[in-house]
Structure 1
Amino acid sequence: MSHRIHYTERGIGPVLVALHGLGGDRTQWMNMLPDDFPFRVLFPDLPGHGETDWLAPELCTFDWYAHEVWRWLDALQITEQVPVAGISMGAGIALKMACQQPERVQKLILVRPAWLNHPYPENLSIFVRMGKKWAETSAADTMTWLQSDEGYLRLKAVNPACLSSVHGQLDRPLPKPAIRTLIEMPGSTPFDTPFELAELTCDVLVAGNEEDMLHPVYIAETTASLIPFARFNVVAPRYTSPANHNRDVFELLAAFLV
């Protein structure tokens, strides 16, 4: 097994790093940005996702993921300051990257962050439960089990559209890494104390959406409030208005990177 990060590179111009969310892959951002976007965009499959079939030897954490992304960029000989964009888990990794090496991050774009500095947030508890169940049985049996899980039923009653993100976890091509990330990543945090974020000096865009129990808007608002040079924007709901959501995120990103 090679410790290679599989990725797609598209476009010309300054570098932009685009990190997907938990259970996603490089297409999450690729489907949002047009082919003629005026940046050299790097879309990786993060470890344990997509075609990148390896994972941390011990525990998956934001710290480990951020180090691996920096190691990958070093291997590509990208030494200049770069903007880093992330969705959900990718937003947390981007934030941790800025905490680790602030001198290398030009701008941060954090879309629907799902973590603050408290491990095992309630909004992600369903992923831990389904990961543990999946470790004991099959994806099909886990899907059946979900139908009687209280948290799943609550999501179904309040916002059934968001269940696509839950179901999608069970379709991931790498079951063993998928199980580990579902169980381990909710227990990690992208920053330890608010003081870490107060020291960031790069420009930061944080985008949150309503009607999203997996990515509550207060997490995006709180994250932005802790960073001195952050701006917060509400975008259309990801699950109930996906086309409008993608349009809003793209427009904010394009204007922010100018």
Structure 2
Amino acid sequence: MSAITIRRDDVVLQGFDQGAGTPLLFQHGLGGSVLQIDENVPDVVGIRRLTLDCRGQGGSTPGTARPFSIETFADDAWAFAEERIGAQPLIVGGISMGAAIALRLAIRHPGRVRGLILARPAWLFADGPETMMPYRHVAAALRSGPPAEARQRFLTSPVAAMLASEAPDNLASLLQFFERPSPLMVADLLDQIAADGPGVTEAEARALTIPTLVIGHAVDHAHPLADARRLAEIIPDARLAEIPPKAGQKAAHVAAFRAVVADFLLRFAA
């Protein structure tokens, strides 16, 4: 799989296009990249998978426009898809932030989206959910001094203690941000996206008429199982797949994730 670059504004975005058949645009979570999608989304015969590394993440440059937003990331991903497949109908999906992007695209492009996958959703409809606040704490720490010292300050905070007890996988993910280059850019990314939202309403979600898979699991502060259940209740043609948590059950989690996604995609395979 080779990278494809597109330019938007002063940003160079890295995308990926693999397989043949019905297009699937599947987006990663905050701070992630195509590697997260490679791990969790299986190759399915008859499905062509598209993924774009969002601005400032993976192989894509951040550009100078601020704030970072889910709206901008969604527009970038849609532009990449249109460049690759034109006006062809497609499935959209994503993990965490990617799920917010996918929900926005399904609502904003109702005539084009045939199916929807919302995996480990971190947002319902409001901006800045409380469960995303740890990302803003990491951003504040990154702005406070050298990354190694910032990491230690965060580790001794009440937020880190809470996550160590209740959601250790979330804590491990957050600590990785202290190892990244361009800490001030990373702080902007975390702070601005955690304060943002998908920019859609519950009424718009209730009006969706496409098959939808919602994936959720327990032991996850940033991605509450209750939110996954709520979205599955709100979207008319949705079903919830509850899978093992990542914390302590990573192999089972990935296997179950891949299985439910493959089962959903088979109905669309061309």
Q: 1:131, 1:120 → 2: CA distance?
A: 14
The 3 A distance-change label for structure 1 pair 56 and 190 is farther
Of 177, 180, 200 in structure 1, the residue corresponding to residue 185 of structure 2 is 177
Q: 1:164, 1:23 → 2: CA distance?
A: 13
Q: 1:34, 1:74 → 2: CA distance?
A: 23
**What's the CA shift for 1:133?**
2.1
What is residue 61 of structure 1 aligned with on the other side?
69
Tell whether the 8 Å contact from 1:106 to 1:202 is kept in structure 2 after alignment: yes
Q: Does 1:48 align with 2:63?
A: no
Q: 1:16, 1:150 → 2: CA distance?
A: 40
What is residue 137 of structure 2 aligned with on the other side?
129
**What's the CA shift for 1:142?**
1.6
Secondary structure at the residue paired with 1:10? strand
Q: 2:180, 2:103 → 1: CA distance?
A: 25
Tell whether the 8 Å contact from 2:52 to 2:80 is kept in structure 1 after alignment: no
Map Cα deviations across residues 163-219 of structure 1 (whole Å, 9 max, x no partner). 221112223345343211210112111144211111211111101001111211011
Which structure 1 segments of 5+ residues have no match? none
Q: 1:19, 1:147 → 2: CA distance?
A: 29
Q: What is the percentage of aligned positions where both structures have the same residue?
A: 29
Tell whether the 8 Å contact from 1:30 to 1:43 is kept in structure 2 after alignment: no
Map Cα deviations across residues 46-72 of structure 1 (whole Å, 9 max, x no partner). 111011012471322222221121122
Of 221, 225, 246 in structure 1, the residue corresponding to residue 254 of structure 2 is 246
Q: Does 1:11 align with 2:16?
A: no
The 3 A distance-change label for structure 1 pair 174 and 254 is farther
Deviates more, 1:70-79 or 1:192-201: 70-79
Map Cα deviations across residues 59-97 of structure 1 (whole Å, 9 max, x no partner). 222222211211222222432111112000000011111
Q: Does 1:76 align with 2:109?
A: no
What is residue 32 of structure 1 aligned with on the other side?
40
Amino acid aligned to 2:241:
N
Matches within 5 A, 1:78-227: 78-227=86-235
**What's the CA shift for 1:159?**
3.2
- Counting matched residue pairs gives 258
Q: 1:225, 1:122 → 2: CA distance?
A: 21
What is residue 21 of structure 1 aligned with on the other side?
29
Q: 2:166, 2:157 → 1: CA distance?
A: 14
TM-score (norm 1): 0.92
Tell whether the 8 Å contact from 2:137 to 2:154 is kept in structure 1 after alignment: no
Tell whether the 8 Å contact from 2:90 to 2:112 is kept in structure 1 after alignment: yes
Of 239, 242, 255 in structure 2, the residue corresponding to residue 234 of structure 1 is 242
Which structure 2 segments of 5+ residues have no match? 1-6
Map Cα deviations across residues 83-113 of structure 1 (whole Å, 9 max, x no partner). 1120000000111111211212111111100
Amino acid aligned to 1:198:
R
RMSD: 1.9
Tell whether the 8 Å contact from 1:108 to 1:202 is kept in structure 2 after alignment: yes
Amino acid aligned to 1:93:
I
Deviates more, 1:238-247 or 1:37-46: 37-46
Q: 1:73, 1:169 → 2: CA distance?
A: 28
